[in-house]
Each structure stands twice: as C-alpha cells, then as structure tokens.
Structure 1
Amino acid sequence: MFTMHPILVEEFLDFLEQSLLEVLHGKKGTNELVEEVQDRYELVADHVLQNSEILEKFKQLFEYIEPVADMQPERAIKRVKNSLGMIERFRDWYLISNPDCSQMKQPSCEIKYAKRVGPRKEAILKKLGISTLGDLIFYFPRDYEDRRKIIPISEISFEGKLTTRGKVVNVETKKIGSMTITAAVLADGVSQLLLKWFNQEYLHKGLQVLKNKTIYATGLVKHSQFGGIEMVNPEIEPEDGTQVLEILPIYPLTHGISQKEIRRIVRENISCVCHYTDELPEELMKKRKLMDISRALLGIHFPKSNYHLKKSIERLAYEELFLMQFALLLSRKSFEEIGGLPKKIPGKLAEEFLRKLPFKLTDSQKEAHRQIRADLMSNKPMSRLLQGDVGCGKTVVAQLAIVDNFEAGFQSAVMAPTSILAMQHYRRMSPAFEEMGIRTALLLGETSSREKEKIKRMLSDGEISVVIGTHTLIQEDVSFSNLGLVIIDEQHRFGVKQREALVSKGKALDTLVMTATPIPRTLALTIYGDLDITVIDEMPPGRKDVKTMLVSVSKLEQVYEFVKKEIAEGGQVFIVYPLIEESDKIQAKAAIRMHEYLSKKIFGEFRVGLLHGKMSQQEKDKIMERFATGEFDILISTTVIEVGIDVPRATVMIIENPERFGLAQLHQLRGRIGRGDKQGYCFLVVGNVDDDALERLRYFSMTKNGFEVAEYDMKLRGPGEILGLKQHGLPELKIADLIRDRELLFRARNDAEEIVRKKEQYPDIVKKVKTIYGERLKLVKIA
C-alpha cells in the first residue's frame, strides 16, 4: 500500500532506485516493478516539470524502464543497471542548482554593507554572531520546511507539517480566560481546515482582508478534539502568482528578526558563495563524489531538492569531519615526532606479578597488556586510551604497565580525578608493588605538608618509583628523577591543560589514559582520535551480572524490606536521587529530604549516610571512605558516586526517578554494585512516566553491555551526554552529526590517515587545521 497523495519527481526517483535495487537482489520481479512504477508515475506533480527539458528527460527515463517486464532476464537486468546510472545523472543535472555569480561581494565584507541590512538589522545580526558576509554564509539553518508539495485539504490523511491551499471563508477572534484565539476556516470546495493562532489578536484584521481569497497555509496539522482537522499557528501567504514552491530554511533567531527577514537577507547575498573554492584534495573530492563547495553552501541554505540538501550536508559534514580527524592525527604525529625512549623490558617482573595474582587474566586483558608493552618498547611515545566496561579489569592491566616501566628503569605517575579514587588505586596497587620492591607513594591535597615535602624529595631523587595522586601531581614543585609513564584515570574529568601539565614532567613520556565510561566508536574517534584505542571487551569469569528490575513506586515498601534482608546478610546499599534539594519546578525526589525521612522512619536501626554535590570534595571523600570501610549500611546520594568507586560489599542500588538520568549514567551507577562475590540488584523505581521513557528503561534493564547501552543512549540524547559533561572535550560540529554521519566519519578518518602520511604535500590543509584546532588539540609539541 502507498499514499495516493501527489508526489515529487525526486520522491519518484527515490522509490524507483530502491525498487531497481530490489530487482537486482532478487527481492522483486520485473512485472511488479513495472506495475508499481506506472502507478507512481501517474501521481507525480512537480513544478520542475514545467521545464520542457526536464519533462522530456523524465519521460525518457520512465519509457526506458517500462518495457523491462517483457524482456529476457539478462537484457532486463542490464537495463535495470543502466537505469540506476540514468537516475544518478538526472539528479545531478536537474535536482541541484548553481549559484548566480554575476553580482557578488567578498566574504570579508562587513554585514552592514550587505543587501537588505540597515543599522537596526546589523545590530541584531551581530547578536547572532554575524559580523561579515562570510559569517552569514556559514550561519546554517537548524531545520527546513518543504513547501514544494501542496496537499489538498480533502486529501490530508496524516498528522504532521505540510502546506495546503484553500479559500478563507470565515474569520473570528474570541477570548477564553486569559487566552485569545484567532481562527479562520480554510476550504477547498470539498473539505475544510481550521486555522488557529493563540494570543495573536493582531492577525484578525489581516485575515479579514484575505476573506474569500485563496491562500497557502503551512504548519502542523493535527486532529481536533471535535473530530475535524486543524492547523495551529500556521504561516500563511496569499496566492498572488509570486509564490515559489521550494524548500525553505529555518534559522535560529533572536528578538527583532523574523524567518522571512533573515531568509531574504541570506537570499539577497547568497551569491557570496561563489568566492569559496575547494580546499579538500582533488583526489578525495573524486573518490568520495563530493559536491563542490559553492553549490554545497547554496544547497545548505536554498536547496533545489532534498537530494541537493543531502549532498550539501554530506559535502560540508565530510569536510568538517575530515579536518577534525586530520587535526587529531596531526597532533598525534607531532607527538610521535618528538621521538620516544624505547624501553628494554625482559618481562620477568610481570611474570612474577602474574604468578602472585589469585586469578588468571582474560584474553582481552592479555591483548591489552601486549599492546601497551609494545608501545613502551617502541621508539615512539605511547599515547593510548584503555577503555572497558565497569569491572572488566583495567586496573590490573595498568599495574602490569607500571611493572614493565619499572623493570625498564623508569618512574610512573597515576593521576585520578578525586582523592578517594586515588586512595582506592593506592590500596589496590601498593601492597603488590611494595612486595616486589617497587616503592609507592600517595600524594593528595590533604597530605600533610611534612609528608608532601618528603614525597617530593624522594620523587626528585628517584627513591620513589610509583606515585599515585590527584591534580596535586601537576604542581610546579613536583619533579621526577626519571618519569617514563603517566596513567590518567577517567581522563575526561581533567582539563587539557591539567593533563599536559603532568605529561610535561618527563621527556618523551608514555601516556596511558583510562576510562570506565563505555564510549561508542564514533565518539571515541571524535574525542580521542589522536590516541590508539584498546578496548577490554571481556569480563572476568565468575562475575555475576547485576539483576536490573523496573519497579513501580507503589512497590517501594517491598524493596525496602529486601534492603533490610540484604544488610542483615552483610550487604550495603546505595539509594540515588536526581536532586539534592526539593524543587518547585521539577517533580522528583531529593536526597536531603529523603535522607531525613528514610533514616528516621524506614531504616532507623541502620547507619545511613548522605552524599551530594554541594559538599566539598574533602567532605565527599570522607563520606565515601566511611561507606567503603563499612561505617554506613546505606548511602543516600545524588550521582556523585557514579564513577570509579569500589565498595565490594555493596549489593543493592535503588535509583528513584531513573527517567531523569541518561542510560550511560545509569550504567555507571549500576556498576557500583555487585563488585564482590555476591549477587547485585539494581532497582529502577518509576512513577508516572511516558511511554518513551519506559521503553528506554526497559531496554536498559535488559542490556548488560555498557557499549550497547552507550550507543543506544547516544542516539537518544546526543554525544555530549555520554561523558556526563555536555560537549566536554568534544570539538564543536556545525553540520556533522555523529549519529547520522557515522559512516561518513569512518570514511573521513581513513582519508585523513592517508593524507597525513604525506602532509608535506598539503601545506594549506595543515595551515587551516592549525588555525581551527591548534590550541584545542595541542598541535604544539610538548617538550
């Protein structure tokens, strides 16, 4: 079944292309193809066919395909393949427009000298960051409105945005309470459509003038509560013969300028695109079949077709992704050109370390260690990201790297984002290290002055081989005798300058950064594209999956009873809330009030702690330390406990209002429990949530793999949310979309790798990349 609405030429071509491919893959017969093509051909109604040349070529294409049902299979297939080429050529010839380059100002021209821009508009445009014509050209639309297809009122059979046409037959304005509703009835002789505007009383007079006249109305159509259809807050335009049926851009606006005004300004000055020439290598343009930059810039503002828009987005997104990947790879090459210190690692200490472990490494851990050791022994400095799901065993791999580095005669530094994580690493690592003669120290902000001075002196003299700490490690007076390896845990929690400050404390350092936040490949290439990436994708044997359950808020009493039993059996419990304090604006529970209620009314016989983001780091560390050592049975908290904390006795996680968290964040919270040998239980307590939220939480409850969760979360919430810090470390992308343009990113990465190898041949690209990304991506060599 298909729609009986009129269709555009490009919609017909899209259908035709898909059908031809189905024939080639044996999914559709030629008889069925021809029948469907004939049906849809009859529905084509497109103003581009007013051009006699386009009409003729379109007919030729149809007539070329029509006989295939009567042909021998071999000949029919050949014609089908030829038809695919004809479609591609038709699109390129007739569905893409070229800019008019007869009158054009330079991109550097100040915006006040642009057509249709006076002093008032200049001030408004500057608020939008538009100071020159070039800024205007690169001020891209946020959306588009397709007005090429006019759906008769009588044929409107769906809810959504559309353009229709009819005669205004009635206009009235009435007040209901504090709201003014202006309404007009639009009729096409068969059916009627109600147009409604809220609190726009000034429109009444203009609508009265249009009474009994034909207009175009564009807006969102929906069913009214009385059974008819209505369009709310539509944009209307009288039919006066000047309408251009086209795809219109929708720009981000500010007070004082309308869509019509900014469209007019861009349209009057769009010829400026003719000044732009392609900076991408010609071989890439041909290889990827990319549109030239001037037509792409025209198409991003005023596309002739959706095909033109798609090709324009592809061209601009590719360039954006290519330059970003080139910058990351150039940064890495600059780092590599410093030259590393190849380390001699016999491997005997690592063997001794492994013999004493109470477990065997997984194959994934062994491979991670192999890659890191190869980096340490290489003549290039290591720059590697080690990522893996919560509990996969990254810390043991990091320890092996430290042991290898020590055996080669170098010091190591491990930097964690918080004191409690640093202390946790110290407690895990130091006993085994000290036993092997690897002297280890802990350096924190709260370390006493006397102890700090002692540790600094011993680091400088080379008496301490491993130091574990927080940002205290980057202070100027911390120096090393022979620092060879830096490990940064949860590196996205540090700023670029903090990381650089630690790396600068040695010459040709090997750097290993770790994260327990599963990051989809597209996001990893974007943020960590200058690093080699190692993923531990295997969990240690015997580790039990946390059982995750959706629970109605009405069943909370039963969950609390379960909690009491778990505590009685030696377990500990996290209860997480989205808010610190109650809010009038947000309907969600708050940690402070719930701590007061639960500690007195429900869990009076237990020790209940409270942790939230308004506490100082020192206070937070102290509370977590007390929970980790068993002083609290229950910890009521906000999400500040989400990363890295290890409490082996914690077996239960209760998350209230889970719909307020991202899935990646929920996965991190879930990872705080079940880290010992007992079964872990995660309860997601939901109240009245919408269907989308419920579906998202159901997916999470059934999915244990953190990378799958992160991929799903990125599709729903965008890439910036995966790390829990919006756009942290993420280069700004104006056109490219990491979800939509996933394959484009991989292609751009491959091409950037090829071009960066012969970067001397492309000085203009190197210069442009340094201009755009130089500061952010550390293109200056770190001495």
Structure 2
Amino acid sequence: MTVALTDSVSTLPGVGPKRVDALAALGITDIASLLTYYPFRYNDMRVKNLNEIQDQEQVTLKGVVAAPPTIARFGRKKTRLNFRLLIDHDVVPVTFFNQPWLQKQITVEEPIMVYGRFDANRKQLNGMKILASGNADPMASVYPSNSGIRQKTIQQLVQAAWDQYHDEITDLIPAPIATHYRLLDRQQMIHDMHFPETLAAAQAARRSAKFEEFFLFQMQLQQLKHQDKTQSGVPIAYDNEQVTALTQSLPYELTGAQKRVVNEICADMKRPFHMNRLLQGDVGSGKTVVAAIVMYAAITAGFQAALMAPTEILAEQHANNLQALFEGFPVNIVILTGSTKPAVRKEILPRIESGELNLIIGTHALIQDTVQYHKLGLVVIDEQHRFGVGQRQALREKGDNPDVLAMTATPIPRTLAITSYGEMDISVIDELPAGRKPVSTYWIKSTQIDSAIQFVTGQLQAGHQAYVVTPLIEESEAVDMKNAEAIYERFSQYFAPKYQVGLLHGRMKNEEKESVMAAFKNQEFQVLVATTVIEVGVDVKNATVMFIYDADHFGLSQLHQLRGRVGRSDQQSYCILIADPKNKNGVQRMQVMTQTNDGFVLSQKDLELRGAGDVLGKKQSGVPDFKVGDPVADLTMLSVAQQEAKQLSDQKDWAQQPENNALADYMKQKERTTYLFD
C-alpha cells in the first residue's frame, strides 16, 4: 500500500471521527501537519546528581526505596503519599499529592526513577510521575493540547506517524542553502524536534525548523510578487514636464525622502507590469502630496486616478486639500461617498464613465457596481489596513488591472513589513518636512490633572485649540476608565462661558461627525472631547494640545497616531498622557512615549510588548501564526530567509531544476489549498 504525507490522520490506529475533529481543532488534518506539530518545550528526563540540581528544577532522580510508602488523608478526597529514596549516601523524602494508586509501584529496597520538582532548601522532591526504569525518553516533548485530546495521545500519534511515514519526508530547502546555513536534513530535523536525545539536539532541530518555516512563507510571498510582476499592467507614460510644473508650483520644497519616493513610484508606473506598492510614512511626513504628484502623473498620461479613504471626514479633507493643490491644473475632482445624494450621484456617474472627471475621491462607495470608470490607471488606498482584502481587490478590478499604491501612516517595523507586505514593493518616507517641531510629550498621574488643565487654558488663551481623548463613549461598570460624555460635561462647565467644547464619538451619524469636525476646524469651539475617531488623518493646524485620558489602555502605535493630530504647523505642540498603569508593561509604554517621536521605534517597541496582532489589529495584520519562528526575536533569520527566497524565485526556471522538485511540489500544493491572507 502506498503512503503519502497527505494521508488523513484517520489512517493512524485509534483515530476515529471524534479524534479527527479534536485534531482538526489543533490544525492537524493530515500526516504532514501532525509531523510538523512541534512541541513547545521539553522536559529533561535524564537522571541527575543531587549536587547539580537547581532549586525548583524539574528533574529525574534514580535511587532505591529506603522505607515503605505511607499515605496520609486530609481534606475531602485529598491524599499525600510519602516515601524515602536512597541516592548513594543521601536520603531524599518524596511526596506525591492525590495519587494514592502509585503505592503499588513502590517496593522497599527496589530501584525506582521518579520525576518531579526538587526543593533544594529542604532537599526533597515533589513527585509528578514514576518512570519505568530504563525506558524513559531523555527529553520528553510537551505539545499544545486541548480538552478534546490529551498530551499523551498526541505523543503516541506522533510516534505512530513517524514510524509509518518517516521515509516519505523529503528535503524542501535546496541543498546549497541548507549546506550554507548548516541546516539539518528534513528527516533528521523532524525526528529531533519530537524525539531529541539532548537539549542541544532539540535546539539544532528548532533552528532548522524556524528557517524552513520562514523560507517557505517567504517563497509564497515571492510567488505572489512574481504574479504581480508578470501580470500585464498598463504602462503609464506620464508627461515629465507637466509633473515637474506641479512640483514647482508647491509653496514648499519636497524633502529628500519625498523626492526619492516619487521617483520610485513613477518609475514603477512606467513599467508594463502591474504595480503593487506600499507607501509608508510617519504622521505628518507628507504622504498626501506624494500621492497627489503620482496621481497627477497618471492623469497627464490620459488615465483616471482614484483615491479611497476609510472615512467620509478623511475623504472630504483629501478632496479639499487636493482641490487647492491642483488649482490651475487640468484635474477635475469629484467626491463620492455613502452620503452623496442620489441626484448628485446620477449627475456625476456618467461623467466618471466618460472620463470627464479624472480624479475620483471617496470611501468604499468607489467600488459599488454602479460606478464605472473610463480609463482607471492608478488606485491609491489611504490607511489601507482599514480596508478588507475584498474591498481592496474590488477597487483593483474596477479598471484594466490598474496600478495600486497603498498608503499607511501606521509605521510598520521592518519585521511586519517583511511578513505582512512581503508581496509588495515598499517605499518609506523617513523624514519630516522642514519647520515641523517635534511634539513635546509628558506623562502625568490622574492626581495631577488640575495643573494639566491649567496648562490647556494657557494654550487656549494664546488662541490655540485642544483635543481631549478618552477610550469610552459612556460610563461602563466593567472598566474604570474616564468616558467621553462625563469629560465633555466637566470641561464644558470648567471652560464656560469663555471657551466652547465639542463632543465627537463613533456612535454619531456621519453627518453629525462631519459637522462637529468642520465646526472645530472653523474654530467655532476650542476644545474637542473625542474617542479615537479622530485618530487618522484629521488635520486641524491650530490644535496644539492633545490630552489623553487612560493612556495606558492604548497601544504605542495608537497613541502615536493620536499624538499626530497636533504638531501639524510650525507652532510648538504638546501631548499630555494621563495614566496610572498597574503593571510594568504599562509603565514602560508611557516612558517610551515621552522619549521618542519616531513612529518606527515606537511600533517596534509595541510589537515587542504586545505582539503583531495588537499593533495592526488581528484581522488586518496579515502576520501568520508561525509555529516555531518568532518574527520579532528571529528578525535576522527572517531577513536571511527572505533574501534566499527572493534570490531563488528570481531564477525563472527554479521549479524545473531537479534539486528543487520537492519544493516546487510543495508550492503547487500550497497554491491550491491555502490563502496567505484572509
């Protein structure tokens, strides 16, 4: 009978329908996924001498039973089994709690091996299990398990799968790469991940397993990238003179980083391949003007450009800013959102379809079936992580495979850029425009709020405005955090009648939100109490103070985004964090916020403290749950794996080379069965 690693786990003895379901819940469906279901730690079962054991270490002791075991009963159904173990000339008391049945396995003057936790101060062992003498694995694997399947069952199934299928395991990593990085062959690696003789063997296997995992993932990303590069795109032959005229008309000079990024994007647009590029830049680094220049480049080549923003407020802001920027240039702008009135839609849709309107700005309304484009050449997606994969894909499909430029103001550390966006080319604006002053950030305790409010009053007296941010809209018994409505009441009373206070939160209708933001921008009120609705993109140059309640309840990246709402002019701006953190992690985050304005430094720190899912959001992050590799701790290895995958993928005939047969088969199988992103 032929066997293959793709065989279902149901082929193993003792695996019926119930067990199949329990294994599936752990992500184990076939033999391959069982053999790569690796232990997360090992119990060192080797017998140790008493003088080499650390306090509270889990160890195996071997000796002779020196006295008959005794059982003491206490409490309801609770027992304590005691006996003494003679090891050379030392007597070690051993205790087992609530395992009275072990008494039968303990015989005076007979040798015995016991595994447990050693108390070095009292020189006694808190027993966990009695081992069959001579049969104990030197390193016992411990696997993630669930209520449906026991640890011991997983160990037995892995052993059965290994015994029956190990000859089917072939190397996936090409031999030159494996040799160069001194990786174990795959059969040895899988064996030593499950059944290592020593801790050193387990560590060597784990190193090889990490590299394999990173390399295979990067190969998938490179395949996606190559699909984009081979997909016929539309070469956008823009008019260089017209684009230069636009940049020279700007009231300021572009930074070196902006110029570099414009050149990267324009060079990509000229190519006959589909562009899929991520533009990354910190808050206030000038991404919008870069987007404006490249959209104008597409327009000079006779194409339409579309800019999709996550909120109507942001879409309106883009439309207003771009209207001013393109004054005197042949750009016909239209805004299309969910709240565009039917009569207005009816009037503008034919003008989009005819090509008369060549810059279309909006929200997800841009991808509705009724919107037909004349010649869509470039799609710009602002704050792209706020859109689902389906929405981004729908906009791409609106034209004849238009070029895509995704923008994000969430500075993504290199770790996440390599994992989340490995299939995209990345342009980074790593320089702030001249004249921008860094926002001064202070952390205070809640007992110091009154003096902070006096500071805000001073800023209002100087003619500036202030944001006050809180995590909750209304009172909650579950969480002791300040809420927007209570703070709004408090600030309204405090500042009346001299200064006006507004309220903005996510439960308001879009029209209400826009009305409040417009009023704040027009200085109809001086203080805006808000939830994190104001986190992205909103631009009020006169606001110089950001006051954040319960700041330790936000991640660093989110705090940085909020802080970016101030400091948008040449005025000195301030961010005041109010927090009483209850743990070391919270204290660390507050300290880091006061020490740096660099979003990349902060997001890397956020990644270390909170994990990838929390930095970008679980669904948006796209960061896979690696089984053994840690993209933060193992960044160097991840980078090396990416370089090797790229080098191999760049060889057009790599899949036809005999030494890559197993890898090519694996890639084909992955293509058929999985999606990298949701």
TM-score above 0.5, yes or no: yes
The CA deviation string for residues 714-753 of structure 1, in whole angstroms up to 9 with x for no partner, is 1222222221345632344333321133122222222222
Q: Residue 163 of structure 1 aligns to which amino acid in structure 2?
A: V
Give, in whole Å, the separation in 1 of the partners of 2:481 and 2:99: 41
Structure 2 length as normaliser, TM-score? 0.87
The 5 A counterparts of 1:329-344 are 329-344=222-237
Aligned 8 A contact 2:473 2:485 in 1: yes
Partner of 1:293: 186
User: What amino acid is the match of 2:421?
Assistant: Y
Distance 1:326 1:112 in 2: 30
Give the length in aligned residue pairs: 663
CA contact (8 A) 2:43 2:139 kept: yes
Partner SS, residue 327 of structure 2 = helix
Asked whether 1:140 is paired with 2:38, we answer yes
Match of 1:484 in 2: 377
Deviations 1:468-513 (A, max 9, x none): 1111111122122222111111111112221121122222422211
The whole-number CA distance in structure 2 between the counterparts of 1:580 and 1:406 is 43
8 A contact 2:81–2:99 mirrored in 1? no
What is aligned with 1:277? 170
Change (3 A) 1:314 1:455: farther
Q: CA deviation at 1:368?
A: 0.9
| Aligned residue number for residue 563 of structure 1 | 456
* C-alpha contact (below 8 Å) 2:169/2:187 kept by paired residues: yes
Q: CA deviation at 1:254?
A: 1.7
Q: CA deviation at 1:514?
A: 0.8
Q: Deviations over 1:136-186 (max 9, x none)?
A: 22333333333347473x765556x532648898875655xx998969798
Q: Deviations over 1:571-612 (max 9, x none)?
A: 333333334455555444444444445545687864434444
Q: How much is the aligned-residue C-alpha RMSD, in angstroms?
A: 3.6
1:390 touches 1:516 (CA, 8 Å); kept in 2? yes
Q: Distance in 1 between matches of 2:72 and 2:386?
A: 58
User: Residues 331 and 777 of structure 1 are in contact (CA less than 8 Å); yes or no, is this contact kept in structure 2?
Assistant: no
Query: What is the SS of the residue equivalent to 2:589?
Result: helix
Q: From 441, 455, 479, give the equivalent of 1:548.
A: 441
Q: How far does residue 207 in structure 1 lie from its aligned partner after superposition?
A: 7.1
State the 1:538 CA deviation. 0.8
Could you tell me whether the CA contact under 8 Å between 1:414 and 1:468 is conserved in 2? Answer: yes
Bigger Cα displacement from structure 2, 698-707 vs 301-310: 301-310
- 2:41 & 2:506 partners in 1: Cα distance? 37
With over 3 angstroms needed to count, the CA separation of the structure-2 counterparts of 1:280 and 1:578, relative to structure 1, is same
Checking the alignment, whether the CA contact within 8 Å between 1:434 and 1:440 is kept in structure 2 is: no
The 2-side partners of 1:588 and 1:109 are apart by 53
* Residues 1:254 and 2:150 are matched in the alignment: no
What fraction of aligned residue pairs are identical, expressed as a percent? 34
The Cα of 1:371 is off from its aligned counterpart by: 1.4
Give the aligned partner of residue 295 of structure 2: 402
Partners of 1:143 and 1:251 within 8 A in 2: yes
Matches within 5 A, 1:467-478: 467-478=360-371
Q: Secondary structure at the match of 1:441?
A: strand
Q: Note if contact 1:387-1:515 (Cα within 8 Å) is conserved in structure 2.
A: yes
Q: Quickly say closer, same or farther: Cα 1:514–1:122, change in 2 above 3 A.
A: closer
Alpha-carbon distance between aligned partners in 1 of 2:376 and 2:368, rounded to the nearest angstrom: 15
Displacement after TM superposition at 1:389 (Å):
0.8
Counterparts in 2 of 1:618-657, with a 5 A limit?
A: 620-657=513-550
1:497-541, Cα deviation, whole Å (9 max, x unpaired): 211211222224222111111111221122211221111111111
* Deviations 1:415-454 (CA, angstroms, capped at 9, x unpaired): 1111111111111111221321311111111011111122
One-letter amino acid of the structure 1 residue matched with residue 207 of structure 2: E
Q: Distance in 2 between matches of 1:670 and 1:615?
A: 23
SS at 1:255's partner residue? coil
Is 1:116–1:268's contact at 8 Å kept on the other side of the alignment?
no
Corresponding residue number in structure 1 for 2:277: 384
Query: Partner of 1:515 in structure 2?
Result: 408
Moved more, 415-424 or 403-412: 403-412
1:267 equivalenced with 2:159 (yes/no)? yes
Q: Is the 8 A contact 1:420 1:625 kept in 2?
A: no
How many Å separate the matches in 2 of 1:577 and 1:173? Answer: 55
Distance 1:572 1:172 in 2: 73
Are 1:531 and 2:424 an aligned pair? Answer: yes
Closer/same/farther in 2, CA of residues 134 and 326 from structure 1, 3 Å limit? closer
C-alpha distance in 2 between matches for 1:211 and 1:688: 56
- Equivalent in the alignment of 1:100: none
Q: Secondary structure of the residue that 1:145 maps to in structure 2?
A: strand
| 629-638 or 465-474: bigger deviation | 629-638
The farther-off stretch of 511-520 and 713-722 is: 713-722
Counting only pairs closer than 5 Å after superposition, residues 575-594 of structure 1 correspond to structure 2 as 575-594=468-487
Does 1:776 find its partner at 2:672? Answer: no
User: Which amino acid is the alignment partner of residue 416 of structure 2?
Assistant: L
Matched, 1:162 2:58: yes
CA deviations over 1:77-105 (Å, ceiling 9, x no partner)? xxxxxxxxxxxxxxxxxxxxxxxxxx996
Displacement, 1:553? 1.7
Map 1:156-235 onto structure 2 (within 5 A).
Answer: 162-163=58-59, 165=61, 174=74, 202-203=98-99, 206=102, 216-219=114-117
Q: Is the 8 A contact 1:171 1:208 kept in 2?
A: no
Name the stretch that deviates more: 648-657 or 598-607.
598-607
User: Among residues 128, 132, 141, which one is paired with 1:236 in the alignment?
Assistant: 128
Residues 130/552 of structure 1: CA separation in 2 closer, same or farther (3 Å cut): same
Does the Cα contact within 8 Å between 2:539 and 2:568 map onto a contact in 1? yes
1: CA distance, partners of 2:199 / 2:519: 60
Deviation at 1:327, TM superposition (A): 2.5
Superposed displacement of residue 648, structure 1: 1.8
* Pair 470,229 (structure 1): closer, same or farther in 2 beyond 3 Å: farther
2:246 aligned to which of 345, 348, 353? 353
Match of 1:714 among 607, 612, 618: 607
Distance 2:617 2:25 in 1: 30
Q: Say whether the 8 Å CA contact 1:186–1:193 is kept in structure 2.
A: yes
Q: 1:185 and 1:422 mapped to 2: Cα distance?
A: 76
Q: Which amino acid aligns with 1:357?
A: L
TM-score (norm. length: structure 1): 0.76
